[in-house]
Amino acid sequence: MSLAQAKKKGFEIETIVVDNGSTDNSVREIKKEFPETICLENSDNLGFAEGNNVGIRYAIERGADYLFLLNNDTTTHEHIFIELAKAATDAPSGGIFCPKIYFARGYETHTERYKLTDQGKIIWYAGGVIDWKNMLAFHRGVDEIDSGQYDVMTKTVYGTGCALFVRRGVFEKTGLFDRKFYLYYEDLDFSLRARQKGFEIYYVPKALLWHKNAGSAGGTGSDLQSYYITRNRLLIGMRYAPWRTKLALLREATNLVMGGTRTQRQAVGDFLRKKYGSRELSKLSQSRFSMPKFPTGIKMPHLPKMPDLLKYLPKIKPKRKNT
């Protein structure tokens, strides 16, 4: 546990582990090897959002000034707390601070691209970027070899839930993670709400950690990941995106219902029915969206793809009122 080796300078660290309904002996092993660690046990898997909320509430009740939310599939540098605390002092307008995150060695998305000597220095997160036209959120610098190109502390649009160093006041004014998301995009939603409340988000390059990407979600491209990203991308888009992007998302959702995978169809259907939170796996086999049958000789109407729809929208003009 790398946090046990973390250096402290003028502050105290208390480690809280939230067990999200595990069925193995992990809690027992943690208590045995790290008896000073506080373990909070949830009877069920509450998801990433509410699972973190359990720990956040507990830490705030114990008077924490800062909370460091950290995935369990990470390894931290020994100076990570010192660097994050220094950044918070240097940037009083900042409410959320995010470290530079590398892929853990051997967990790169495209491991075959890199030399063995470069592994462990491949960037996973060096700040957040949002493409509002297509409702995509991605990491700056992802898959790049770190050669110092992102070594300046700077403001960023959103922080990743993999590792968030947050002032207590952000949670008090913004609220906690929205449990509707359950998994994925809850960090983007939280970041956008925090910025609406006036808090800045900073990328801190001197604070380092390594991440086993999607280690708890079955790996990149897994069925679990596909479901939550599809559903929650619609949810986040309808909350914050420009109206043209919202229309394009609805068009894309229609195309997924017609030609997407079974998982994507279920994700879109659950979004439309406002079924948020945990995916209902028991209903997956029954989750089918049958299209109406057209009489022989009648073709289905042509549905423009997402880019075509955006191209047509500027031609729409408001009607003039008669005076």
CA-closest candidate to residue 224, choices 161, 284, 134, 176: 284
- The CA-atom distances, in angstroms, between 170 and each of 56, 69, 130, 192 are 11, 13, 21, 12
How confident is the model over 260-267, as a mean pLDDT? 95
Q: In this structure, how many other beta carbons lie within 10 angstroms of the beta carbon of residue 129?
A: 15
The confidence score (pLDDT) of residue 3 equals 83
- Give the integer Cα–Cα distance in Å for 98 and 153: 10
Q: Report DSSP letters for 170-191, one per residue.
A: HHHHH-S--TTT-SSSHHHHHH
Is the pTM higher than 0.95? The answer reads: no
Confidence band of 308 (pLDDT split at 50, 70, 90): very low
Tokens representing 141 are 């610098």
Would you say 213 and 106 are in contact if contact means Cβ atoms under 8 Å apart? no
* Domain-wise residue ranges, the chain: 6-211, 221-280
Question: What CA–CA distance (Å, rounded) separates 98 from 164?
Answer: 5
Average pLDDT over residues 183-208: 97
Which residues are registered as beta bridge partners of 70? 163
Architecture of the CATH domain 6-211 = Alpha-Beta Complex (3.90)
Q: What is the pLDDT at residue 303?
A: 41
Q: What is the mean pLDDT of the chain?
A: 87
Q: What is the pLDDT of residues 128-142, one digit of tens each?
A: 999 999 999 999 999
Query: Average pLDDT in the 144-148 region?
Result: 97
**Confidence class for position 322, pLDDT limits 50, 70, 90:** low
Give the pLDDT mean for 44-51.
94
Query: d(Cα 135, Cα 140) in Å, to the nearest integer?
Result: 16
pLDDT recorded at residue 5: 84
- Residues sharing a CB contact under 8 Å with residue 318, sequence separation 6 or more, in sequence order: none
pLDDT > 90? residue 62: yes
